Amino acid sequence: MSSQSLNQQPIEDVSTHRIGFVGESDVGKTTVATLVADRLSNRSRVSVLGAAVEVVDSESVDHPDGRPGLDIEWTVVDANAGPEPFERWATTLDTAFVVATPDTLDTVSTYERIANRFGIDLFLIVTRFTDTDRAQLRAFDGPELAEYFYEDEAISTAMDAGETPALEDWTVEAILIEALQPNRLDPDTALNALETGQNSIVNVEISDRQQADSLIETFENAGHRAAYYGCNCGNHDGHVIARVREKRQVR
C-alpha cells in the first residue's frame, strides 16, 4: 500500500477510482476510511490520503484469488472534518461518502448540497448504529444509505491502539459496490449493456458463490473484467461487478 501527501490532484488517471470520506468530527469517519482501505489492500492496488494512512499499513495484494479482477487502482481520501475540506476535494473525487451517527444526521444536508453543486455521487454511511435507530434511518430524507456499522467498543479500542478493527461476520464491500455501480441489472441485461457500450461497468446481484463464479467466467469469456463483492444483505449472497477492459472516460 502506498501513501501520499494531502495535495489535491485532478482526476487524470482513468484506470483509478478515487473515493472520499467526509463528515463532522468524532463520527467515525477515519475508522470507516481505515476499514475500507484495509479491505481494498487485500484485493487490489490502493493508495491512502489523510489520517487513515496512520493505521492502514498492509501491503496491496494483486488478485489474491488468482483472477485478474476489475484491475482498478483505488485511492481512499480521508478528508479532514467539516464541509470546507469536502469542497476542496470535490473536483478530484469519483464518489463521496458522508459519515454520520444517528445523532448527527442533521449535518448531512450540508454535504449533500456540496455534492449536488459539484455533481458528485454522495452516499450515506451511519456509524454507532443500534436497532432502535432503524425507524429514524428509514424516515431520513437524504443520500442513499450505503452501509451502517453497529456500535462496537472493540472498533474504537482498535483505532485508539493504531490498529485496523476486525469485523466479525460483516463486510465493507457494499461501500465499494456503491462507489463503482449502484444500479443493479440482471445477468443478460448486464452483459448486453457492456457489449453495446451502454454501460462501462455493471452490477449483478447473485444468490451464491457458484452463480458468482459462473457469471464471472461468462463476463471474462466475453472479454470483460469481473469480480465478486460481498455485502451484508440477507436476501442474496453478494454481487458480481463487471466492466469493459477499455479505460473509463474522464468525466
What percent of the chain has pLDDT above 90?
63
- Are 72 and 167 members of one domain? yes
Same domain, 152 and 32: yes
- Residue 92 confidence (pLDDT): 94
Q: Could you tell me if 46 and 61 lie in one domain? A: yes
- Is there a single domain that holds both residue 141 and residue 236? no
CATH code, domain with 101: 3.40.50.300
Domain of 128, in residue numbers:
13-179
**Is residue 231 domain-shared with residue 141, that is, in the same domain?**
no
Please calculate the CA angle 22-25-26 and round it to the nearest 5 degrees.
110
Residue 5 in domain: no
Task: Verify that 121 and 225 share a domain, yes or no.
Answer: no
Determine the pLDDT at residue 58: 46
Q: Return the residue matching grid coordinates 473536483.
A: 91
Comparing CA positions, the residue from 115, 177, 129, 184 lying closest to residue 138 is 129
Q: What's residue 65's pLDDT?
A: 52
Structural domain count of the chain: 2
pLDDT of residue 52: 86
Q: Determine the pLDDT at residue 44.
A: 83
214/166 same-domain check = no
Instruction: Give residue 30's pLDDT.
Output: 94
For residues 156 and 232, state if they share a domain.
Answer: no
The parts of the chain modelled with pLDDT lower than 50 are 1-14, 58, 61, 64, 247-251
Statement to judge: residues 201 and 85 lie in one domain: no
- Give the span between the Cα atoms of 44 and 219, in whole angstroms: 19
